[in-house]
Chains A and B, each alone.
Chain A
Amino acid sequence: MGLTSLLVRAAAARPHVLVAVMPGATAVRLAAEDQLRRRGWPAALTPADADILLVAGVPAPGIADAVEATWAAVPAPRARARAVRAGDVAAALDGARAELAASVPRRHAGAPPIADARGECHVPGSPEAMSGADHGHPANHEHPGDHEAPVVPGPHDAHGGQLGHDLGDMGMEMPGGLPMADRGPDRDGLTLDQLHVPLGPLLPDWPAGLVVRLVLQGDVIEHAEAEVIGLAAEAASFWTEPWRRAAAGEPVTSATAARWRAAAYLDSLARFLSVAGWDAAAASARALRDEALTDGPAPGLALPVRRLARRVSRSRVLAWSTRGIGLVPGEAATAATAADDVTVRYRRWCRELSEAVTAFGDDSPLDPAVPGPPRGGPGEARALLAALPRQLEGAELAAARLIVASVDPDLDELVSPVGAGHGH
């Protein structure tokens, strides 16, 4: 129809892009964020808001189901793009936009049948979902009225395969194949419904590949288990590249290393500030990070970075909001960086950022020993993940997101699967 295709073409002028980041694809993610920033295309937070799904990196088998579930949840008109390397991103986005502009609105075409929720994509049962005799057709195969709406399995952090929990099948046909929520005691001594919700692996501003399986009561976490899926084939952390190149004998200046260090902290800070809802500071952090990572001199970079670090560090509202979150009650933490609350952690990042800025003009060759790369290697990532569930237990969902964002483990370092550490 003429009007709809006109609308679609207008819509393709500024599509919302959902970037699905695979483990090990940090470079692609940075390139994608840079491209989106330059084009002015908003990054979608949820598949419901997305027009283009950009898969950054190569989806390993463990995470491919999550990507497919996310794709199934994107409403038409939609386009899919993949970028394996950082240089592919621009072309992939252009291609997807062209595909979007040319797409025929599939109003009257049949929607591809989504398989039953029990088999394919596990949907987290809602607290109100009780067992009930259905009217004979599971909700997945409804085709309501005139709109061929894709029947979505739920939030795009649902993942497929056998990773869902089957909570005591009552033997009754329940709407959407959702199991009945069981109950358990909560922190106030009440008995509340428990909801099994996986956070990740494709949430916005979330460590790629991390899945935290939660038992929620209301929005308070009762029990958490952390695991990494879809691990990359080889471990190569993006942020340690100058040190690896220096160790391999290439000439690397301290200035380059300092800028990469600063960019690593800026990236962590940007994701944390996004999760904390501070849009202006997060956008500045991202822009400064992209500028720090470009080759060539960046004369005016030190001052804005220092200013940002000072502003974030001194923010009273942010400190008030995050004080006391993420402490492990009563126990000594295993990794040194997990012993503090969220406020201490992001302030530490700001301090390190200010220190890294001082070496921006230093053109001497890099001494690989001093100071080291911003992340401590696979051992640190493993320790952080092991400590994470204990920090999350008892926290609310918002606090949990802040904790994970402030811990920000670098999962690119991991190759072998991390044992699913749990705490309750």
Chain B
Amino acid sequence: MVTSAPLWSVLVVLALLAGFAALAVAADALLAARAARRPVSATVLAAPLAEVPRLLAAQRRVTPAADRLLWQVGLVTVPVAGVLAAVVIPFGGQTASRMSAGVVWFNAMEVLTWAGVWMAGWGPNAVLALVGGYRFVAQGLAYELPLMFALISAAAGAQSLDVADIVGAQGHLWFAAWMPAAFVLYLGSVCAFSFTGPFGYPAGLDLAGGVAAEVSGPDRLMLQAGRWLLLTTGAGMAVPLFLGGGSGPGLPAWAWSAVKTAVVLAALVWGRRRVPVIRADRYAELAWVVLIPLAVVQALAVGLIVLVKGGPL
């Protein structure tokens, strides 16, 4: 049964997410400055946070014959999906909302981005935004099934859909060690559903920003913040699913959760700049013909191991 969570716990989730997202943005600024051979200082790291007042003060734009309702709903959905997906992530030993099917809830909230980004592309009635929105759907069809199978592998390893049980099943060995394919597919899918890095196709430079081409002001802040929140949520979920949650010697559980989340997030932020954008028309065939069989085989392997051993490794 879903235990009713106090409302303030969602605010705590939001605060934690925002904190980690700010760290990710700062790390990204650091890497960008290094790549551009610019000297790195504290102001460089804090500079991207100037986006918040800049976008709050900017004017909203109106395009001809725009579908304002869908546009607004789509833009709001992107960060909301990130926050809602994070309510099942245990931090330390605490979860904002412990659900018996937490993994499926995470998957469902992440799929909200499909609707959100498509609507954000449809709303402004502009060519580049529309192409960006459809690009996200095309990419979504490609990454979603490998992601689902990766999540199923983790759930099968613990024989439960509850995230707390998955953490508990990793007492002996982290899932990342004996289901590496699922882990790698999951990390790739995190970049995909937050459309950054190699999967930044829907918001690419070749479309002058894609779904972000016509958005300005607080709407733009929601979209960009939503991308970073989704990346952070994905990184946060990797910890209980594959990296043992808050377990570890010495430090308390919440500290280990924080450290592991920070490491995964740093790896994602570093990796996303290193790879060129992968176009969905090339990626879709690879995903369906190579990655889905790989993910299915991984899930089968996990299932066999659990069957033979009577539990996780």
Contacts and interface: CB of A to CB of B under 8 A. Distances in A.
- Direct A–B touching, Cβ under 8 Å: yes
Contacts of A152: 61-63, 214
A99 to B, nearest CB: 15
Nearest to B275: A317
A344 B278 CA distance: 18
A154 interface: yes
A156 B127 CA distance: 11
A315 to B, nearest CB: 7
B31, B54, B127 — most chain A CB neighbours (10 Å): B127
A112 B64 CA distance: 16
A216 B127 contact: yes
Contact of B65 (A46, A178, A284, A291): A178
B60 A147 contact: yes
A11, A128, A150 — most chain B CB neighbours (10 Å): A11
Nearest to A37: B36
A143 to B, nearest CB: 9
Contacts of A175: 64-65
Contact of A149 (B31, B51, B59): B59
B58 A77 contact: yes
Interface in B4-54: 31-33, 35-38, 44, 47-48, 50-51, 53-54
A311 B85 CA distance: 37
Given A155-B127, A280-B31, A317-B278, A48 B64 contact: no
Contacts of A281: 276
B198 interface: yes
Contacts of A149: 59-62
A212 B65 CA distance: 25
Contact of B279 (A14, A280, A398): A398
A375 to B, nearest CB: 23
Nearest to A148: B59
B64 to A, nearest CB: 3
A139 B57 CA distance: 24
B84 to A, nearest CB: 27
A278 B59 contact: no
Interface in B150-205: 198, 200-201, 204-205
A139 B65 contact: yes
Contact of B62 (A37, A45, A77, A144): A144
A75, A129, A176, A402 — most chain B CB neighbours (10 Å): A75
A219 interface: yes
Interface in A70-126: 73, 75-77, 105, 107, 117, 123-124, 126
B276 A278 contact: yes
B208 A105 contact: no
Contact of B214 (A40, A46, A396): A46
A286 interface: yes
Nearest to A156: B208
Contacts of B48: 14
B184 to A, nearest CB: 15
A407 B219 CA distance: 36
Interface residues of B, number: 58
Interface string A29-62: 0000000011010000110110100000000000
B58, B63, B206 — most chain A CB neighbours (10 Å): B206
A157 interface: yes
A230 interface: no
Given A46-B208, A151-B62, A320-B282, A280 B274 contact: yes
A178 B65 CA distance: 9
B126 A45 contact: no
B255 interface: no
Interface string A280-308: 11011011000100000000000000000
Nearest to A123: B64
A275 interface: yes
A246 B24 CA distance: 50
A75 B58 contact: yes
A126 B129 CA distance: 11
B267 to A, nearest CB: 15
Contact of A126 (B127, B207, B212, B274): B127
B269 to A, nearest CB: 12
B126 A154 contact: yes
A379 to B, nearest CB: 28
A401 B277 CA distance: 13
A385 interface: no
B215 interface: yes
B222 interface: no
B128 interface: yes
A142 B276 CA distance: 41
A351 B12 CA distance: 54
A46 B278 CA distance: 22
Given A7-B53, A280-B274, A286 B36 contact: yes
A197 B128 CA distance: 10
B264 interface: no
Nearest to B38: A40
Given A45-B205, A48-B61, A11 B54 contact: yes
Contacts of A195: 127
8 contacts: A13-B47, A126-B126, A129-B65, A154-B127, A178-B65, A204-B205, A277-B200, A287-B36
The 10 A-B pairs at the shortest CB distance, nearest first, are namely A176-B64, A277-B277, A11-B54, A401-B206, A175-B65, A75-B59, A283-B35, A7-B57, A278-B276, A10-B53
Given A279-B32, A280-B273, A317-B275, 16 more contacts: A48-B220, A49-B220, A75-B216, A77-B59, A124-B127, A149-B59, A150-B62, A154-B63, A154-B126, A155-B126, A176-B64, A178-B64, A219-B134, A278-B276, A398-B207, A401-B206
